[in-house]
Amino acid sequence: MPLLVEGRRVRLPQSAGDLVRAHPPLEERARLLRGQSVQQVGPQGLLYVQQRELAVTSPKDGSISILGSDDATTCHIVVLRHTGNGATCLTHCDGTDTKAEVPLIMNSIKSFSDHAQCGRLEV
């Protein structure tokens, strides 16, 4: 799967720092994201993902409207969304078994997107 930044394909960098240095808009977007205020939500429609968990949902799911996680001080929270049907996967990775987690994330979102006529995956 190619990595796109600003709609252009980029080569896989050696590190995250190299990626940010090569594409300054990524750092600006991260700054804007960090600057957003925290929103507290109630339990209605919320699915909370803890460390070492993942969840996948789609707009057709009448029970889940918000996926969330927190406390990722040394972890990564990854959100993968299929643009064709809106299926979304959120995972809270702690690095314990990244080699197994990545295929699991990909297969989970693909299982919700099998019948989509078009679309791509966005991180």
pTM score of the predicted model: 0.75
Percent of the chain with pLDDT over 70: 99
Q: Choose among 45, 51, 122, 43: nearest CA to 89.
A: 122
Going edge to edge, which strands form the sheet with 121-122?
Answer: 54-57, 88-93, 76-82, 121-122
What integer is the mean pLDDT of 6-32? Answer: 88
| Structure confidence at residue 3 as a pLDDT band (50, 70, 90) | confident
How confident is the prediction for the chain on average, in pLDDT?
90
Q: Is 2 helix (H, G, I), strand (E, B) or coil?
A: coil
Asked if pLDDT for residue 121 goes beyond 90, the answer is no
Asked if pLDDT for residue 1 goes beyond 70, the answer is no
Please, where are the H alpha helices in the chain?
Answer: 16-22, 24-34, 98-113
Asked if pLDDT for residue 66 goes beyond 90, the answer is yes
